[in-house]
A and B are shown apart, each in its own frame.
Chain A
């Protein structure tokens, strides 16, 4: 509903039958292969992300989870295949997608403060030579407020805790005012309070009709936080609603079944009789 309001989104030239007559899906990945030094890191991925879903991307280390997000964002080259965002190539729909890289991917000693980092989320909406306007500052401050970080707006980013840094990253994505949010491990290494705050914001985004895709590492919380799940290990193992796709057999196929952590999750799943 609210998903596409106010934006011009064209229908794809060839609408796929399974999607019906509705608007194009927020994210559609077809036959995607990504290679690194000629070695495939993602192979033949076909994936459809539904509008308004809260999706977890799970899989073992090196399964290609971050690579999948970067491929969708168009920041790494695709060996083959195609990605469409609302039926358009990513270069024509960047303004509709917000991206949260892994917290560890940047240098937190950079000379800047929390508000400035959030303002960077507005850069995509500014012209080549344009500087952030008063309106962008207000939006950025409001986004910091939403993640409970308004009192730290002027704080140098290296003086923030890990959880606070993650919240600043989340606020920056909110400042992008996107329709789809791709987040790389927004819950990795954060404190319990931040985890609750982040989840609250994800649910709020969903309630407003936005689509959220998160790389997630904690199998214990998948069922309680996410309604859709993508299981990945170089190839796509399964994807769909959590209750039907997050099954012991799919998890074994994804992780190989050797993990002790995995057996705990499998036990709970089997006990709950799913």
Chain B
């Protein structure tokens, strides 16, 4: 269990607990800021060595190569590009597993999950992995962005894990034992008014379970899930926690620039990100109040609150020198033109992930 509150603290008084949590938070924040940062040169070295091939820039799509097993043409673009033989084989295996399941019994572990919806949700995630949606007004975007990795790399492993945890109430994924608390067992399947997440109980289970298992300093004051916690700091994901989840869940190496409060001092951000994308998967940790303006107020607290997967970035030929970025978030890919200043303004963290051998 990756908790940051040791068990012996449970016997301490409220003041001691508060002090301890405050201190832990400060230490984690400091650790976050002083995390070793890679240079542009090191990224270029990775690029030239050819060890890792970025799959997000690929043009081919995994399901498109699978003959009749693929999804309808219109939704094919919601599938991930194929990067290697292993992930394509894993996807085929996942589709084979799904084809053998025609019916799921209800699970005593998850009293509010409707089996038919659960199965439909799993099917949707395997066929259209980019359509995974964190729900409106929740703090699940970090977990949703992270899910990009297992749904690409090992969809069959992810599917087996989801079926196992549904059946047994606990299961292991990539060597991590997940034993969700009783509150999570009860809550999965009950989240409503979150858009399409309302009818996706498997995603609810997955997000709640990740938030319950991985804890960071932002979650210190909300240790347990309560009704509505998905919208609060209970579900928040700081940059350090995000990287930890990527490393542990996806088996990736991460190189991170940036922090939770201060923008990274990368002089040529465009060049850095372009290089990063050539050698692996790139997540951006961004200030959502700039990216998706929600009010016209002039005084705003600018902090990063949103994760997105950058799938393409390029300079336009025009005289205005704009960038065209393509990224995944909120259940789909978006393309927009932005200036370099805007990119610098929104970017608080660049997470570069490369697969470990």
Q: Please indicate whether A and B come from the same complex rather than being unrelated chains.
A: no
A residues sitting closer than 8 Å to B (CB atoms) are none
